[in-house]
Amino acid sequence: MQSVKMILCVVGVCILAPRVSCQTPPAAKRIVIGASTVLDGRGRVLHDTRIVIEGSRIVSVDANAGPVDYDLRGSTVLPGWIDAHAHITWSFGKDGKNAGMAGTTQEDAYQSASNAWLTLMAGFTTIQSPGSPNDIPLRDAIAKGNLPGPRILTAVDPLIGKGEATGTPEEIRAFVRKQKQAGADLIKIFASQSIRQGGGMTLSQEQLNAACDEAKKQGLRTLVHAYKDAVRAATHAGCTEIEHGTLATDDDLKLMAQRGTYLDPQCGLVIENYLLNKEKYVGTPGYTAEGFAAMEKILPMNHELVQHAVKTLGLKVVFGTDAVAGAHGRNAEEFIDRVRDGGVDPMAAMVSANSLGAEAMNLADQFGSIAPGLQADIIALDGDPLKDITAVRRVVFVMKAGVVYKNVARGAIPAYAGVQP
């Protein structure tokens, strides 16, 4: 309670969030939301109805329920969004420069808490961080209700492909088990170099097979950072989801659709954010002037990947931003990029961050839709994203697990031009 109030003031959002509920509601507490337009997260639109919540869960969707506690008529109501790929602890340091995601000072910890708050206020009630050991205390503090933020799933330490030096299949299996013991919810695997360095494969087929097979045996999903040939190799290895996927061929995408492998491409935000914050990144580990020149060429390749993914029948495309320092709280920009530059249908964009995003986490029975029995993760937008995708910038209401974290009047949030206000 105390810590929640403190964070509100640290990040200076008291004005934007005049009504903040900090307590977990008692199990019997009943809340009714009135809505004129509801996107149910599965592709359907409901009109003039009410959503009934008891404790942390939705108990019914019933036009006759009452009395109404939150009247959200005039807004578009939908499930809280899911970002499949956000590096929640990745921040700028005291000197204003990229500090990565592994800092352990008090400033770093507050910065991570701030990232979590901004992400939640932007309408994201669940994120998957692939991954950092620093995610664990943040994940657990949020799960206990001690800090406001999205529900976090983390990979802890990723398996970084280094060719032969990565290890034998047995050593790779041991690494996967070690992450599980450290509290990982999933396994992240780097099977390609950075695209800025060419994107070549860094794990053999045999190594990838071992990593994804062992994760499956441990009941964990696998997210594979993969470009070009690594996309096909990871799909053959039975991994769960491909991150990025740049320069995958149409045949690779078809194979993914056949095998049910999820694709999490990035259509803009991650590169746009790097370019916007170039002076804060250049000269920090992994970021060179040449790398930045390469990024400008990669952006259209990423647009092209999404354009081809949209046309691949049966391919399951989830929503992930790869948010790093500078992008937290602006995650929804990726929706605009996908619709504007990737040719994604706005409803498909919403579903990719709702029921499909939850399905990719094996958690579709927990959240991602507005339906009885599911977690009450509910947001509202000032505007209709099906008609104007920039409405995703105007999140006026955020409820996570039955707790209201944000409730501002329509018109309170300016339609800023994609830059953090």
Distances (CA, A) of 254 to 131, 134, 299, 309, 353: 28, 37, 22, 9, 22
User: Which residue lies nearer to Zn ion by CB, 78 or 325?
Assistant: 325
Our finding on whether 135 is near Zn ion (CB under 5 A) is no
User: Which residue lies nearer to Zn ion by CB, 321 or 369?
Assistant: 321
Our finding on whether 334 is near Zn ion (CB under 5 A) is no
Per-residue binding letters, 269-308, with Zn ion (x by CB under 5 A)? ----------------------------------------
Q: How far is the CB of 419 from Zn ion (least distance, A)?
A: 22
The continuous run of DSSP H or E covering 272 comes out as helix 269-276
Q: How far is the CB of 87 from Zn ion (least distance, A)?
A: 6
Contact region for Zn ion (CB under 5 A) — 39-47, 246-254, 322-330, 369-377? Answer: 322-330
CA distance 216 to 219: 5
User: Which residue lies nearer to Zn ion by CB, 322 or 382?
Assistant: 322
User: Which residue lies nearer to Zn ion by CB, 153 or 257?
Assistant: 153
Distances (CA, A) of 48 to 33, 132, 322: 11, 43, 36
Q: Which of 258, 267, 264, 218 is nearest to 241 (CA)?
A: 264
User: Which residue lies nearer to Zn ion by CB, 96 or 286?
Assistant: 286
CA distance 62 to 65: 6
Q: How far is the CB of 194 from Zn ion (least distance, A)?
A: 10
Q: What b/e readout covers 134-165, taking b as 16+ CB neighbours within 10 angstroms? A: bbbebbebbeeeebbbbbbbbbbbbbebeeee
Q: How far is the CB of 225 from Zn ion (least distance, A)?
A: 7
Contact region for Zn ion (CB under 5 A) — 9-17, 97-105, 314-322, 328-336? Answer: 314-322
Q: Are strands 403-407 and 395-400 parallel, antiparallel or unpaired?
A: antiparallel
Q: How far is the CB of 85 from Zn ion (least distance, A)?
A: 6
Count H helices, E strands: the chain? 13, 16
User: Which residue lies nearer to Zn ion by CB, 269 or 401?
Assistant: 269
Q: How far is the CB of 324 from Zn ion (least distance, A)?
A: 7
The continuous run of DSSP H or E covering 222 comes out as strand 221-226
Give 12: exposed, middle or buried? Use CB within 10 Å, 0-12, 13-18, 19+: exposed
Our finding on whether 322 is near Zn ion (CB under 5 A) is yes
Contact (Cβ atoms closer than 8 angstroms) between residue 33 and residue 42:
no
CA distance 92 to 116: 14
Count of residues touching Zn ion (by CB under 5 A) = 1
Question: Closest residue to Zn ion, Cβ-based?
Answer: 322
Contact region for Zn ion (CB under 5 A) — 208-216, 315-323, 366-374, 379-387? Answer: 315-323
Q: How far is the CB of 280 from Zn ion (least distance, A)?
A: 17
Query: Which residues in the 358-397 window bind Zn ion by CB under 5 A?
Result: none
Contact (Cβ atoms closer than 8 angstroms) between residue 349 and residue 18:
no
Interface residues with Zn ion (CB under 5 A) are 322
